[in-house]
Each structure stands twice: as C-alpha cells, then as structure tokens.
Amino acid sequence: MDEDEYPVSKPLVLIVDDDRLIRVCFQDALNDAGFETITTSEGASAIKTFSTMQPDLVLLDINLPGKDGCQVCRKIRSLPSGRLTPIMMITSLHDRAFIRSAFEAGATDFLTKPIDPELLAFRVHYIWRAGQNLIKLAEKEARLRMLKTAVDCLPIGITLT
C-alpha cells in the first residue's frame, strides 16, 4: 500500500453560504462522506477563514452579503495558498452570465441549487482528488526547475543517454 494513496487526515472543506440550512445540509453530507468541514456565512469571514485554516477545497455561494462569491474567489486566488485550491461556486441562479463570471473569477467547477447531497459529496471528492494531483504536479515541476538550475550551474558537462 502506497502511503500517498491515503491521506493522513480528512480533507477540510470550507462551506460559504448565507443560507444556514444550506450550510448545515452541505456540512452533513460532506461529513458523512469523510470530509472535515468549516462554515461561514459571508465573504470577508470566508477570506479570513481560508487564510487561517487553509482548507483543501472551498464551496462558495455566488450571492453573499458584503463581498459576493466572485470577489471572494478572486481574493482567494490572489493568495499564495489559494492559487491551486479547488473552488466550487454554487448558486440557485441559472444565468449564463453568473456562470461565466464565476469561471472568470477562478472557479474550478460550478453547481446549481438544489443539489442532491450524494451528488455533492461525489463531485467534491472528485474535484478534491483532481486538486491534489495538480498540487503534486506543481511540486514536482518546482523540484525539476531546482534540479535544472543546479545542473546548469555545474562547471562540467552532463550527457544523458
């Protein structure tokens, strides 16, 4: 068994929605599916919570008091730790303009309410796994760049066959 296959701790999901019932429903579904969850109801606290808790994935409603979901998404993406974190935007509006705005803000995926809790858990798990693979790829690319820099600095030539 490869230790990379099984996370040591449960993935942490930040749920951001101004509707308490939605937050509780999402939290129950994701906890049952093996995720840890934290919740908040508005944009500014979502950014603060993201910065302090470093969740593995964010479920983010578009319509929030204060900063809307797109503003929150942009701010999270501007943080070094938020560059690769999966962000799933959620709304009850079926307007293509909102969907386009969400993706332009940096959303990874988009869901419309109402959402079946089992489907939500499946989608979150899938997007989280994809995000983990992206993070591993970025780490390997950084190591490769460091190795290339080291090799380029060597005073001798190296030939690969």
Confidence band for 22, pLDDT divided at 50, 70 and 90 = very high
Report the pLDDT value the prediction gives residue 14, as an integer from 0 to 100: 97
Question: How big is the chain by its Cα radius of gyration, in Å?
Answer: 19
Can you give the CATH number for the domain in which 59 is found? 3.40.50.2300
In a domain, residue 128? The reply is yes
Percent helix, strand, coil in the chain (nearest 5)? Answer: 55, 15, 30
Residue 89 has pLDDT above 90, yes or no: yes
Our count of domains for the chain comes to 1
Residues 6+ apart with CB under 8 A from 1: none
Report the pLDDT value the prediction gives residue 8, as an integer from 0 to 100: 58
Residue 81 has pLDDT above 80, yes or no: yes
Q: Which tens digit of pLDDT belongs to each residue from 119-145? A: 899 889 888 887 776 667 667 777 777
In a domain, residue 127? The reply is yes
Confidence band for 71, pLDDT divided at 50, 70 and 90 = very high
In a domain, residue 158? The reply is no
What does the DSSP assignment read for 41-65?
SSHHHHHHHHHHH--SEEEEES--S
Confidence band for 159, pLDDT divided at 50, 70 and 90 = low
Q: Which tens digit of pLDDT belongs to each residue from 45-55? A: 999 999 999 99
Q: Identify the residue with better confidence: 99 or 55.
A: 55
User: What is the span of the domain harbouring residue 122?
Assistant: 8-153
In a domain, residue 160? The reply is no
Rounded to the nearest integer, the mean pLDDT of the chain is 85
In a domain, residue 149? The reply is yes
Residues 6+ apart with CB under 8 A from 152: none
Confidence band for 1, pLDDT divided at 50, 70 and 90 = very low
Mean pLDDT calculated for residue range 77-87: 92
In a domain, residue 97? The reply is yes
Q: Identify the residue with better confidence: 104 or 117.
A: 104
In a domain, residue 45? The reply is yes
Report the pLDDT value the prediction gives residue 161, as an integer from 0 to 100: 65
Structure tokens at 149: 């820099």
In a domain, residue 161? The reply is no
